[in-house]
Homo-oligomer: A and B are copies of this chain.
């Protein structure tokens, strides 16, 4: 599990899932369309690509139509990005896209070769070949539509379609056949979900270096449990507070398009169970989670990449707060938790909020430039903070989730510096040093600990 991974309520409910008639994947004999997505670690070298081919072959032999979305070999995209930066710090994103999209092009061709060597009919489809249409925001393009005529024909002919993630094609303002685009880092997850939506796949399996989504970071809480299912909304909240299992954009797209996404490990051996027997975590709509499975809280996330900024003695008058946040929004800085303290005696107030640590310097610069307009007396900041979030769709219908959190942390003497809530999440800001303690006591307080530590 990478740093900051998080997640929800466990229940290794294989039996329940397999017997669920509403789940098409439970019928092993029924042909399904699936997308399998493999990341850079899985594509790092021919031996691993051969393992991927073996996994794909099993799905094909089970009677499924399969499209595979691949990342570049681990390290390759960094190498290509490095070339671009070395060539010019102000590189043309259109040319950057030509360069960096080559990484996935290479692995697509190689996986097609490895599949054919394994006796599986396969061919690669570049983004411009399908095509995968995107807007023209080069280097951070968004997928529009995906033409499926060629893809459908290929799948129906029994071929595995191998598709490079992270790339598409935008119309060329100057004529010609369009220009290559990339979706930004981590875009291969989004490619996979978009392809799954376009081809009306029954399932989109994302093979990662973790084996699923957990109730919390297992390195902090050894009794954390892998979740069988999690809703899109929960996953979005978890992703946005530090889970690195899936790219946030891909989860949002999956929710919008109602694509059933499964997170599972790419490192399980060839004798691992088939993907449709649920070795990982399914990310699904709320309606797919039975009442019996539903927990109050599904997971606990932590995020140390926030910084706290406090403006001392801001005049307590209309427009003061806007003067603070408008310039930050204009600079595309994502402000998260905001607290405005009660007014001082002198008609002024303190305003505290958090920003991503990476944006701290730019935030301070922006605020100092606006000092006169805002009228604060002092600007202080603190990077030694952590945000702890409890997430769960179950809390919608249950009061007391927040108060349990405050009571539990207070009993351990953990000071809460800020609070924010959404419909399915309560977050608090605490001192960074207390992160692990807070996660552990909350995991126990919400009844998430595995009964058997070996589970």
Chain A positions within 8 Å of B, measured between CB atoms, are 46, 49-50, 80, 83-84, 86-88, 90-92, 94-99, 101-103, 105-106, 108-110, 112-114, 116-117, 123-126, 128-131, 149-150, 153-154, 157, 172, 174-180
Contact = CB atoms under 8 A, between A and B. Distances in A.
B126 A113 contact: no
Contacts of A95: 109-110, 112-113, 116, 123-124
Contact of A99 (B110, B131, B150, B154): B110
Nearest to A162: B95
A117 B94 contact: no
B86 A128 contact: no
Contacts of A80: 106
B102 A105 contact: yes
A87 B102 contact: no
A125 B180 CA distance: 10
Contacts of A50: 87
Contacts of A117: 87-88, 90-91
Contacts of A172: 129
Contacts of A109: 84, 95-99
A446 to B, nearest CB: 48
A176 B153 CA distance: 10
A150 B154 CA distance: 31
Contact of A46 (B86, B113, B180): B86
B113 A87 contact: yes
B126 A98 contact: yes
A177 B131 contact: yes
Contacts of A92: 112-113, 116
10 contacts: A49-B87, A50-B87, A87-B113, A95-B116, A96-B109, A98-B108, A98-B126, A99-B113, A102-B102, A129-B179
Contacts of A46: 83, 86-87
Contact of A87 (B83, B87, B114, B130): B114
A195 to B, nearest CB: 15
B128 A113 contact: no
A153 B177 contact: no
A228 to B, nearest CB: 36
Contacts of A116: 88, 91-92, 95
The 4 tightest CB contacts between A and B, nearest first, are: A98-B109, A88-B117, A99-B109, A102-B102
A21 B340 CA distance: 82
B113 A88 contact: yes
Nearest to A86: B46
A176 B129 contact: yes
A259 to B, nearest CB: 24
A54 to B, nearest CB: 13
A84 B113 contact: yes
Nearest to A47: B86
B88 A99 contact: no
Nearest to A178: B129
A94 B112 CA distance: 10
Contacts of A179: 129
Nearest to A176: B150
A332 to B, nearest CB: 24
Given A88-B117, A95-B116, A99-B113, 5 more contacts: A46-B87, A91-B113, A92-B112, A92-B113, A128-B128
